[in-house]
């Protein structure tokens, strides 16, 4: 189905057809760009988001579109290649004239397209948790900022339910999200009286598959007599071999619990989770959330993807929230014009599948609940802690001293 | 004619425990024409490899005009004035006959010199003269890839001449040639010698006889016999290992 | 007729940004997108030209040219980062954002001088050149040729990719450099800047093309062809093939560096992904597709394969890899001499 | 008889503890409360020592304890996996408490495995209350492994005693071991006990000396394990590249196909209870055949047209790799696929001198050596191997002797590809099964083959293990990335010195 859509798009994509049709004519379809990698290393995570957007689009059309106008998707493949992200963003905006885009995963892809969206005044919804330290008027961030994920998770580890950890191992893939998050966490831990001598920090490359040495070193670090916990910002692909090694070296959650920020239901689908029971993840949504909105979401997804075993995850939920908010904002503004929609976006509220109500704040970030889940033998998470209310994002972390002399604006 | 010519003494080459050359000694005077014969595996080609720097001996002396050949790069040896013609003719198929000869022409060999190289009238006429000499004047602007087997052999000899070497090494020049071509080649080689030393490695005894020069017989990497063709053919050791078979 | 073919194409290419100036909705107006994408292809064409010089003419199949390209890009990227100055997020007068962030107190020594455009441009040529010199010298001296050389150069770009991914290297890690503001006083991210960069890339391509064409017509070019076909024979002719190969390899690397230097301001980002071995192989495919050993072929290949890729990633986002893969299979089998070879026949 | 004594002993122990049976029901209903309440209830049930608690706690730890209607709890049968909101969920805090409680209750169990787990649990609980319990159990224990564990647990328990003499005894006992756990326990005591500090320091130093050897052995194992992975990935290349001279850039994708074959075999056999446990061994021939077939098809259909043009082959196979990757992505989806490890490949294996290694990696080392041996045998001992070597040495003469060279080429390539498939089976046990699986290994494999010496299986073996061990030696102080970069640069420099690799073919044949 999406092939048919993109074929039309492709005809325009030739760049040879003069674009005389005014894009905003009454009744003309609203164009939704989908900028997720369908090949290359990031396809593993991003294809599900492409499908989520298409699902929402189909749903919205079944509701009669927005203001009587149908929605039409333009799917492109930036192929996990960052300069190609920028090129495809420009193509979406200038050739296909999309009214809104949903896309990107990882900060580098977002940073690659950001100048394009700012130059051409486009609108992008970014659905993944990230390190913060950014705020663009052309981007709405529907994933978590560090204070909506990392800090509550570590707080949990330090508390009685998490095992009262006194030493922390910060393991991450060597890129900006783990580096920043760990920097914020170090500041936070220091403020809680955990000195740098009790913090181990180590980075590995993308797709790292040989974890023997690092896990052995973690074991040794944990063998210094203080209760130790691992905080993992390991990126997608490397998690499977990491968890396998953890399980095989006999590190149980009771001894050294590991809390992860990038491991969701999709990642666990590739692992036998029985040896991992009790390890943790922090998100703003888990598939196991017991709420009517979530049951609708899971049912709709499995119905759309025609697979009763497929799972949902946090970035998919964030995509859904973003989509719904955007649709509401367009309806409210009565136009798809970027400036009007941007204004209408602020203050939009959606009853999210997480069971909480999320609100778009003026800093272009959402309020979100924080949930801690323990891995279960069936690959799902058992929610062991959640915040009573959705909390607002601090995209400029107070634990980063340089934010004090940040340029506003 | 100056210098001492080619001087090999006690040269030994070992491949995986196999002695391809075993204390080989050979002296070729300036201007001399010498034929080297021997059965397969006698070390003829290895000897040429040592002289041209392709193979390093484990021991022994290889000198040309007082230069130690065992320590030099192939290209440096070539620039000393040692030219080599391979058994299988290797000319540059993508280039024309003229360009092949031009590459061989004695001139500065560095990249910058090659970039700045302009063909002078003298060089052009030297190339044309050589093309004439090897009978390829008519085909000067054809790619070498289109030449027949014999013509390629001649072109290679022509390239040797362009190098203006003091010592020419020729490996089985007449393999696969017609009788007429063989005779032509013998005449050509005899003509070249005198001004320069020529070492010819060959199987074809009729051809060697036609050269009418001193003959060295190799066997198992060492010199078995040396002298006129009639002398070596009469040598019983030679008869046993080579001719007798 | 053939005499006017190339100048004609160049003139057409030069016209492209001018068509962008026409008012919106004009039948022959080209969009910003086309200008920026075409500018990118021009840079790729320079890279293809560089690769063709080494592979098509001298038989040196480098699977590491992407590394030279990326190094050139990084050199200019460093300059662009320095130019951001206090306009960065944290407002630091000297240090780029990522350094502020990783807690650098001062600029690392290898960043010195990159505030000056001529220095950065020089480095964009010199650094790839020096790397090519070192790798080439070691490899050619040891007579590493053919596929061995390909594997070594591939390992080189792979090692560089791993190294540049490290945040501790001081080159911005995975994120690399982005969010550039200006170049030689000209604000980037405007249609005007893109046109200027487009013309710069076009001029560089024409320059590189003419230089390569002139070079391959000299005796040096013939020596290279001879080395490609029978290297040891060339050595027995008295040519030190090491020096010739090194010369062309270094020159080719510098050309690739120049391509990268033009590419980065155009696309607005440079990161270690550019070092990925697949990028280098893709560049080889452009040359093979266009026809190696002919300069026109290299340029044509870069344009056509990339045009196809741009189009397919929108037209058939799920299938484009298969289409491109089949193309890579078909070229060596069905058109070993590439597009140019086919057209000439 | 023996069993009876055990139960009597248990009763005896229970009588010694303060029995407050009236609390039992209250505590049991606490098991269904909040996490904090649960943990408290579990701890108290453990020290209460009522044998009725044992099945309840076990059920709780295995998610079989359910909320019954009317406030109580009920136990689902052993082996059941109930679901729904009535299942009582626990968290890590409860799990830690459970471990201690179950330890106390199971320490005199007739099942040695349970006693071992119990001793382990008590070691981690480190409570002085357990001293008499452990002393009695130790007196009866006959299995050496469990005795060692109980000794450790006793030492740890003594360290928590209020009597300094007992504590000193504990330090001495722990210091006599070579166990990292003992070291951890000692170090944790260091902070609380000024007086014992010198004794603890000495004990830790003694343990460290014994551990140093162990760490070295473990590092060596890690290196060998990485080497075995490299060996598997490179062996197929050693055949296709080393023997045939074909640069197969799709080699990594063949590895990936092998891994996906494993997934498919597992899924096909999932329904059959007799075959399912054997799915991994069964996947071995399947993966070999599938990839060999793809390899043969590729050789006959494509590569054969390009012999003598290695650079073109390189491009062509790169294209094949792209296509294979995307086809797999479209067929199986971009997500990771789950591969289940059989129980005998999970957990750690204890070797002599307390060296522990992970089972799956130990198996993979053995597997890689077995594959190497088979490859060697196939090339040296079979008719096919003889023909293959003949074709490699002189194709024309081999053909005149009646060898069908085309068939030999196809078989050789199929054989090399099949080995890649075998690598895929092994990699499915340690890495992601995703369409990108192969890309991570291709360059390393080439480096191994080039480093070891093209055409030499022995070279591939030594090359792979050398690189593996070097990587692991460098890793602790250079980090994973720099270690890898250093090894790559090292190989590049090494090849300058020995362009033909470690084990080069010498002589005339190698010159051409």
Q: How confident is the model over B10-30, as pLDDT tens digits?
A: 899 888 778 888 888 888 988
Asked if residue A289 lies in contact with residue A354, where contact means CB atoms within 8 angstroms, the answer is: yes
Report whether pLDDT(C145) > 70: yes
Q: Which tokens belong to C48?
A: 């293809």
D208 and D247 in a single domain? The answer is: no
Residue D3 has a pLDDT of 61
Asked if residue D204 lies in contact with residue D187, where contact means CB atoms within 8 angstroms, the answer is: yes
Report whether pLDDT(A408) > 80: no
Among the candidates D439, D468, D487, a domain finishes at D439
Neighbours of chain D (3+ CB pairs under 8 A): A, B, C
Nearest to C225 among B78, B83, B92 (CB): B92
- For residue C238, the chain B residue with the least C-alpha distance is B75
D234 and D207 in a single domain? The answer is: no
Contact B111 C234 (CB under 8 A): no
Q: How far, rounded to the nearest angstrom, does the alpha carbon of residue C312 sit from its chain's CA centroid?
A: 22
D377 and D264 in a single domain? The answer is: yes
Q: Highest mean pLDDT range out of D149-158, D232-241, D252-261, D476-485?
A: D252-261
Q: Is residue D149 part of a domain?
A: yes
Q: Is residue D155 part of a domain?
A: yes
Report, as an integer, the average pLDDT of D287-313.
Answer: 89
Report, as an integer, the average pLDDT of A200-216.
Answer: 87
Phi, psi of A38 (to 5 degrees): -110, -5
D478 interfaces chain A, CB cutoff of 8 Å: no
B15 interfaces chain C, CB cutoff of 8 Å: no
Chain B residue numbers with beta carbons less than 8 Å from the beta carbon of C235 are: 73-75, 78
Asked if residue A85 lies in contact with residue A104, where contact means CB atoms within 8 angstroms, the answer is: yes
Report whether pLDDT(A39) > 60: yes
D198 and D285 in a single domain? The answer is: no
Within chain A, which residue ranges are assigned CATH 3.40.50.2300?
Answer: 2-143+291-359, 147-289+371-405
CA dist., res. A263 & res. C9, Å (int): 52
Closest to C253 measured CA to CA, from C160, C115, C147: C160
Asked if residue D99 lies in contact with residue D58, where contact means CB atoms within 8 angstroms, the answer is: no
Q: Rg (Cα) of chain D, in Å, rounded? A: 30
Average pLDDT of chain A to the nearest whole number: 87
Report whether pLDDT(A1) > 60: no
Contact B95 C218 (CB under 8 A): no
Domain count of chain B?
A: 1
Q: Residue B226: which pLDDT band, with cuts at 50, 70 and 90? A: confident
Contact C101 A400 (CB under 8 A): yes
D199 and D295 in a single domain? The answer is: no
CA dist., res. D155 & res. D188, Å (int): 13
Looking at per-residue confidence, does B163 or A326 come out higher? A326
D508 interfaces chain B, CB cutoff of 8 Å: yes
Report whether pLDDT(D14) > 80: no
Segment holding D413, helix H or strand E: helix D405-427
Q: Residue A345: which pLDDT band, with cuts at 50, 70 and 90? A: very high
Phi, psi of A253 (to 5 degrees): -60, -30
Report whether pLDDT(D238) > 70: yes
C29 interfaces chain B, CB cutoff of 8 Å: no
Domain that holds residue B149: 6-243
Residue A16 has a pLDDT of 37
CA dist., res. C56 & res. C248, Å (int): 11
Q: Is residue D140 part of a domain?
A: yes
Report whether pLDDT(B1) > 50: no
Q: Which tokens belong to A391?
A: 């909390």
Asked if residue A227 lies in contact with residue A166, where contact means CB atoms within 8 angstroms, the answer is: yes
CATH of segment(s) A2-143+291-359: 3.40.50.2300
CA dist list (Å): C191 to A82, C30, C32, C35, C196: 21, 12, 6, 9, 9
Q: Is residue B215 part of a domain?
A: yes
D131 and D241 in a single domain? The answer is: no
Strand partners, B67: B64
Which tens digits make up the pLDDT trace of B30-72?
888 999 988 877 888 889 889 988 888 888 889 998 889 888 8
Strand partners, A258: A230
- For residue A214, the chain D residue with the least C-alpha distance is D476
Supply the ipTM of this predicted assembly: 0.85
Report, as an integer, the average pLDDT of C225-254.
Answer: 92
Asked if residue D424 lies in contact with residue D250, where contact means CB atoms within 8 angstroms, the answer is: no
Asked if residue A229 lies in contact with residue A257, where contact means CB atoms within 8 angstroms, the answer is: yes
D205 and D260 in a single domain? The answer is: no
Q: Is residue B1 part of a domain?
A: no
Which alpha helices (DSSP H) does A249-374 contain, by range?
265-268, 292-305, 314-333, 338-345
Q: Residue C98: which pLDDT band, with cuts at 50, 70 and 90? A: confident
Q: Residue D21: which pLDDT band, with cuts at 50, 70 and 90? A: low
Average pLDDT of chain C to the nearest whole number: 89
Report whether pLDDT(A25) > 70: no
Q: Is residue B98 part of a domain?
A: yes
Looking at per-residue confidence, does D500 or B33 come out higher? B33
C137 interfaces chain D, CB cutoff of 8 Å: no
Nearest to C322 among D316, D326, D446 (CB): D326
Task: State the best of D60, D432, D442, D445 to mutate against chain A, taking most chain A CBs within 10 Å.
Answer: D432
Asked if residue A121 lies in contact with residue A345, where contact means CB atoms within 8 angstroms, the answer is: no
Nearest to A205 among D222, D359, D480 (CB): D480
Report whether pLDDT(D213) > 90: no
Residue D44 has a pLDDT of 83
D382 and D238 in a single domain? The answer is: yes
Strand partners, C142: none
Residue A20 has a pLDDT of 36
Instruction: Locate the DSSP E strands across A135-247.
Output: 139-141, 167-173, 199-204, 228-233
Q: Is residue D454 part of a domain?
A: no
Domain that holds residue D68: 2-212
Cα distance from D452 to chain B (closest Cα, Å)?
Answer: 18
Report whether pLDDT(D510) > 50: no
Cα distance from A336 to chain D (closest Cα, Å)?
Answer: 33
Report, as an integer, the average pLDDT of C330-343.
Answer: 84
Q: Is residue B99 part of a domain?
A: yes
Residue D273 has a pLDDT of 83
Report, as an integer, the average pLDDT of C8-19.
Answer: 82
Report whether pLDDT(B3) > 70: no
Chain B residue numbers with beta carbons less than 8 Å from the beta carbon of D508 are: 15, 20
Which tens digits make up the pLDDT trace of C105-117?
889 999 999 989 9
Which tens digits make up the pLDDT trace of A255-269?
899 999 988 888 887
Domain count of chain D?
A: 2
Q: Residue D120: which pLDDT band, with cuts at 50, 70 and 90? A: confident
Q: Centre a 10 Å sphere on the Cβ of residue D272 and count the other Cβ atoms it contains.
A: 11
Q: Centre a 10 Å sphere on the Cβ of residue C326 and count the other Cβ atoms it contains.
A: 14
- For residue D506, the chain B residue with the least C-alpha distance is B16
Which tens digits make up the pLDDT trace of C247-269?
999 999 999 999 999 999 999 89
CA dist list (Å): B18 to A44, B15, B60, D481: 57, 5, 17, 45
Report, as an integer, the average pLDDT of C220-246.
Answer: 91
Q: How many degrees, rounded to 5, is the angle at CA A333 between CA A329 and CA A336?
A: 80
Nearest to D315 among C162, C278, C285 (CB): C285
Q: Which of residues 13-72 of B touch D (CB under 8 A)?
A: 15-16, 18, 20
Asked if residue A112 lies in contact with residue A82, where contact means CB atoms within 8 angstroms, the answer is: yes
Nearest to C333 among D249, D316, D485 (CB): D316
CA dist., res. C150 & res. B192, Å (int): 43
Asked if residue D494 lies in contact with residue D452, where contact means CB atoms within 8 angstroms, the answer is: no
Does B contact C via 3+ CB–CB distances below 8 Å? Answer: yes
Q: Residue A359: which pLDDT band, with cuts at 50, 70 and 90? A: very high
Closest to B159 measured CA to CA, from B212, B91, B218: B91
Q: Which of residues 225-284 of C touch B (CB under 8 A)?
A: 225-226, 228-230, 232-241, 243-244, 247-248
Report whether pLDDT(B173) > 50: yes
Helix/strand number for chain C, H first, E second:
14, 4
A281: helix, strand or coil: strand
| CATH number of the domain that residue B183 is part of | 3.40.50.300
Which tens digits make up the pLDDT trace of A162-187?
888 999 999 998 888 898 899 889 99
Report whether pLDDT(A12) > 70: no
B117 interfaces chain D, CB cutoff of 8 Å: no
Chain D residue numbers with beta carbons less than 8 Å from the beta carbon of B18 are: 507
D372 and D422 in a single domain? The answer is: yes
Neighbours of chain C (3+ CB pairs under 8 A): A, B, D
Report whether pLDDT(A7) > 60: no
D205 and D254 in a single domain? The answer is: no
Which tens digits make up the pLDDT trace of A51-101?
999 999 999 999 999 988 999 999 999 988 888 999 999 999 998 999 999
Q: Could you name the CATH architecture of A147-289+371-405?
A: 3-Layer(aba) Sandwich (3.40)
Closest to B10 measured CA to CA, from B25, B20, B21: B25
DSSP chain B: --S--EEEEEEEEEETTEEEEEEEEEEE-TT-EEEEE--TTSSHHHHHHHHHTSS--SEEEEEETTEEGGGS-HHHHHHHTEEEE-SS----TTSBHHHHHHHHSSS--SHHHHHH----HHHHHHHHHHHHHTT-GGGTTSBGGGS-HHHHHHHHHHHHHHH--SEEEEESTTTT--HHHHHHHHHHHHHHBTTBEEEEE-S-HHHHHHHT-EEEEEETTEEEEEE-HHHHHH-HHHIIIIIT-
Tell me the pTM. Answer: 0.88
Q: Residue A11: which pLDDT band, with cuts at 50, 70 and 90? A: very low
Cα distance from D502 to chain B (closest Cα, Å)?
Answer: 15
Q: Is residue D502 part of a domain?
A: no
Which tens digits make up the pLDDT trace of A137-153?
999 999 999 999 989 99
Nearest to C329 among D316, D326, D496 (CB): D316
Q: How many CA atoms lie within 13 A of A337 on its CB side?
A: 8
CA dist., res. D209 & res. D213, Å (int): 8
Q: Highest mean pLDDT range out of A204-213, B101-110, B189-198, C200-209?
A: C200-209
D334 interfaces chain C, CB cutoff of 8 Å: no
- b vs e for C58-71, b when ≥16 Cβ sit within 10 Å of the residue's Cβ? bbbbbbbbbbbbbb
CA dist., res. D31 & res. D41, Å (int): 6
Residue C223 has a pLDDT of 93
């Amino acid at each position: 189905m999406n092939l048919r859509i993109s074929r039309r798009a492709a005809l325009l994509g030739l760049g040879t057809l003069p674009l005389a049709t005014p894009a905003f004519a009454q009744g003309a379809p609203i164009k939704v760009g989908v900028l997720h990698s369908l090949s290359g290393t990031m396809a593993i995570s991003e294809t599900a988001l492409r499908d989520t957007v298409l699902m929402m689009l189909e749903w919205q059309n079944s509701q009669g579109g927005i203001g009587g106008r149908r929605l039409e998707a333009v799917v492109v493949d930036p192929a996990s290649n960052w300069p190609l992200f920028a090129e495809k963003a420009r193509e979406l905006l200038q050739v296909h004239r999309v009214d809104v885009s949903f896309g990107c995963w990882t900060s580098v892809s977002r940073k690659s397209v950001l100048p394009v969206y700012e130059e051409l005044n486009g609108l992008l919804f970014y659905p993944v948790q990230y390190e913060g330290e950014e705020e663009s008027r052309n981007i709405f961030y529907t994933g978590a900022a560090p204070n909506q994920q990392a800090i509550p998770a570590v707080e949990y580890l330090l508390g009685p339910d998490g095992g009262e950890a006194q030493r922390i191992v910060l393991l991450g893939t060597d890129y900006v999200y783990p580096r920043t998050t760990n920097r914020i966490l170090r500041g936070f831990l220091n403020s809680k009286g955990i000195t740098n001598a009790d913090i181990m920090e180590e980075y590995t490359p993308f797709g790292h598959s040989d974890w023997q040495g690092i896990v052995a070193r973690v074991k040794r670090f944990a063998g210094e007599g203080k209760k130790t916990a691992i905080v993992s910002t390991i990126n997608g692909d490397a998690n499977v071999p990491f968890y396998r090694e953890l399980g095989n070296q006999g590190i149980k959650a009771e001894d050294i619990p590991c809390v992860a920020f990038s491991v969701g239901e999709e990642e666990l689908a590739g692992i036998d989770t029985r040896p991992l029971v009790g390890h943790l993840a922090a998100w703003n949504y888990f598939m196991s959330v017991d709420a009517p909105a979530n049951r609708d979401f899971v049912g709709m997804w499995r119905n759309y993807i025609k697979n009763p075993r497929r799972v949902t995850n946090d970035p998919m939920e964030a995509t859904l929230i973003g989509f719904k908010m955007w649709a509401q904002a367009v309806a409210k503004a009565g136009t798809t014009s970027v400036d009007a929609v941007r204004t209408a976006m602020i203050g939009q509220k959606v009853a999210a599948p997480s069971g909480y109500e999320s609100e778009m704040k003026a800093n272009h970030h959402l309020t979100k609940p924080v949930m801690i889940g323990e891995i279960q033998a069936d690959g799902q998470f058992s929610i062991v802690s959640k915040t009573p209310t959705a909390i607002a994002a601090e995209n400029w972390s107070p634990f980063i001293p340089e934010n004090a002399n940040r340029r506003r604006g | 004619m100056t210098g001492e010519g080619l001087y090999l003494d006690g040269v030994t080459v070992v491949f995986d425990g196999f002695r391809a050359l075993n204390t080989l000694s050979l002296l070729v005077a300036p201007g001399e024409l010498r034929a080297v014969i021997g059965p397969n595996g006698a070390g003829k080609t290895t000897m040429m490899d040592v002289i041209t720097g392709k193979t390093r001996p484990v021991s022994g002396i290889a000198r040309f005009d007082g230069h130690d050949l065992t320590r030099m790069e192939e290209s440096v040896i070539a620039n000393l004035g040692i030219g080599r013609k391979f058994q299988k003719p290797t000319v540059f198929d993508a280039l024309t006959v003229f360009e092949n000869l031009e590459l061989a022409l004695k001139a500065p060999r560095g990249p910058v010199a090659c970039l700045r190289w302009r063909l002078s009238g003298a060089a052009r006429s030297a190339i044309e003269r050589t093309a004439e000499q090897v009978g390829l004047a008519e085909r000067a602007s054809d790619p070498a890839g289109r030449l027949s087997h014999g013509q390629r052999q001649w072109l290679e000899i022509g390239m040797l001449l362009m190098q203006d070497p003091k010592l020419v090494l020729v490996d089985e020049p007449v393999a696969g040639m017609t009788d007429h071509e063989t005779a032509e080649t013998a005449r050509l080689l005899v003509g070249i010698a005198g001004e320069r030393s020529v070492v010819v490695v060959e199987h074809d005894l009729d051809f060697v006889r036609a050269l009418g020069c001193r003959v060295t017989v190799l066997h198992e990497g060492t010199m078995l016999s040396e002298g006129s063709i009639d002398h070596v053919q009469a040598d019983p050791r030679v008869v046993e290992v080579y001719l007798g078979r | 007729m053939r005499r006017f073919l190339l100048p004609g194409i160049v003139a057409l290419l030069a016209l492209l940004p001018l068509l962008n100036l026409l008012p919106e909705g004009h039948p022959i107006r080209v969009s910003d997108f086309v200008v920026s994408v075409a500018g990118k292809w021009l840079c790729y064409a320079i890279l293809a030209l560089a690769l063709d010089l080494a592979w098509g003419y001298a038989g040196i199949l480098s699977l590491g040219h992407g590394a030279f390209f990326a190094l050139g890009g990084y050199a200019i990227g460093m300059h662009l980062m320095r130019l951001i100055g206090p306009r960065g997020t944290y407002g630091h007068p000297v240090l780029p954002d990522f350094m502020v962030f990783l807690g650098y107190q001062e600029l690392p020594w290898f960043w010195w001088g990159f505030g000056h455009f001529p220095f950065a441009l020089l480095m964009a040529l010199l650094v790839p050149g020096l790397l090519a010199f070192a790798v080439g010298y070691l490899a050619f001296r040891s007579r590493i040729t053919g596929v061995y050389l390909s594997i070594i150069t591939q390992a080189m770009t792979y090692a560089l990719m791993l190294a540049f991914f490290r945040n501790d290297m001081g080159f911005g890690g995975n994120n690399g450099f982005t969010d550039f503001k200006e170049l030689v006083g000209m604000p980037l991210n405007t249609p005007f800047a893109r046109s200027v960069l487009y013309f710069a890339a076009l001029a560089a391509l024409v320059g590189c093309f003419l230089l390569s064409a002139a070079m391959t017509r000299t005796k040096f070019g013939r020596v290279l062809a001879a080395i490609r076909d029978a290297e040891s024979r060339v050595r027995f002719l008295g040519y030190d093939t090491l020096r010739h190969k090194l010369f062309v390899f270094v020159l080719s690397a510098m050309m690739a560096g120049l391509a990268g230097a033009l590419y980065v301001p155009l696309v607005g980002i440079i990161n270690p992904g550019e070092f990925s071995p697949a990028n280098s192989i893709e560049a080889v495919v452009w040359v093979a597709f266009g026809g190696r050993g002919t300069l026109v072929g290299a340029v044509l290949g870069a344009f056509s394969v990339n045009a196809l890729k741009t189009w397919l990633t929108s037209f058939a986002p799920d299938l484009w890899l298969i289409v491109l893969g089949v193309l890579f299979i078909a070229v060596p089998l069905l058109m070993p001499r590439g597009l140019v070879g086919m057209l000439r026949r | 008889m023996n069993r009876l004594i055990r139960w009597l002993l248990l009763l005896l122990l229970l009588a010694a503890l303060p029995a407050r049976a009236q609390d039992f029901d209250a505590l049991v209903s606490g098991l269904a409360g909040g996490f904090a309440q649960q943990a408290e209830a579990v701890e108290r049930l453990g020290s209460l020592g009522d044998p009725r608690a044992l099945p309840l706690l076990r059920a709780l730890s295995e998610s079989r304890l359910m909320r019954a209607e009317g406030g109580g709890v009920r136990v689902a049968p052993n082996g059941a996996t109930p679901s729904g909101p009535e299942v009582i969920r626990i968290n890590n805090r409860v799990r830690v408490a459970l471990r201690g409680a179950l330890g106390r209750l199971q320490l005199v169990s007739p099942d040695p495995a349970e006693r071992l787990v119990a001793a382990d649990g008590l070691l981690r609980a480190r409570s002085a209350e357990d001293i008499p319990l452990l002393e009695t159990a130790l007196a009866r224990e006959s299995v050496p492994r469990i005795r060692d564990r109980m000794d450790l647990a006793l030492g740890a328990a003594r360290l928590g005693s209020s009597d300094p003499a007992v504590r000193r005894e504990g330090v001495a006992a722990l210091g006599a071991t070579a166990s990292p756990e003992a070291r951890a326990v000692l170090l944790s005591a260091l902070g609380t006990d000024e007086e014992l500090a010198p004794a603890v320091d000495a004990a830790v130093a003694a343990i460290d000396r014994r551990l140093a050897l162990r760490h070295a052995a473990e590092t060596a194992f890690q290196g060998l394990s990485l080497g075995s992975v490299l060996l598997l990935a490179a062996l197929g290349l050693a055949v296709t590249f080393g023997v045939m001279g074909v640069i197969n850039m799709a080699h990594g994708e063949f590895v990936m196909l092998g891994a996906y074959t494993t997934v498919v075999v597992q899924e096909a056999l999932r329904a059959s209870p007799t075959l399912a446990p054997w799915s991994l061994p069964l996947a071995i021939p399947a993966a070999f055949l599938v990839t060999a077939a793809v390899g043969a098809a590729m050789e006959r259909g494509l590569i054969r047209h390009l012999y003598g043009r290695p650079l073109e082959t390189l491009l062509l196979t790169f294209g094949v790799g792209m296509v294979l990757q995307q086809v797999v992505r479209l067929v199986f989806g971009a997500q990771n696929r789950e591969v289940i490890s059989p129980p005998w490949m999970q957990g750690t294996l204890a070797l002599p001198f307390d060296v522990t290694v992970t089972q799956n990696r130990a198996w993979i080392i053995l597997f890689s050596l077995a594959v190497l041996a088979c490859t060697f045998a196939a090339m040296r001992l079979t008719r096919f191997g003889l023909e293959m070597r003949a074709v490699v040495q002189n194709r024309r003469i081999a053909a005149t002797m009646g060898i069908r060279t085309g068939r030999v080429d196809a078989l050789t390539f199929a054989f090399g590809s099949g080995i890649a498939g075998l690598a895929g089976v092994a990699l499915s046990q340690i890495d992601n099964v995703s369409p990108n699986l192969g890309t991570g290994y291709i360059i390393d494999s080439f480096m191994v083959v080039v480093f070891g010496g093209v055409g030499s299986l022995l070279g591939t073996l030594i090359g792979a293990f050398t690189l593996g061990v070097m990587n692991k030696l460098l890793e602790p102080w250079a980090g994973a990335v720099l270690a890898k970069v250093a090894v790559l640069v090292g190989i590049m420099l090494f090849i300058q010195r020995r362009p033909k690799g470690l084990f080069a073919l010498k002589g005339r044949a190698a010159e051409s």
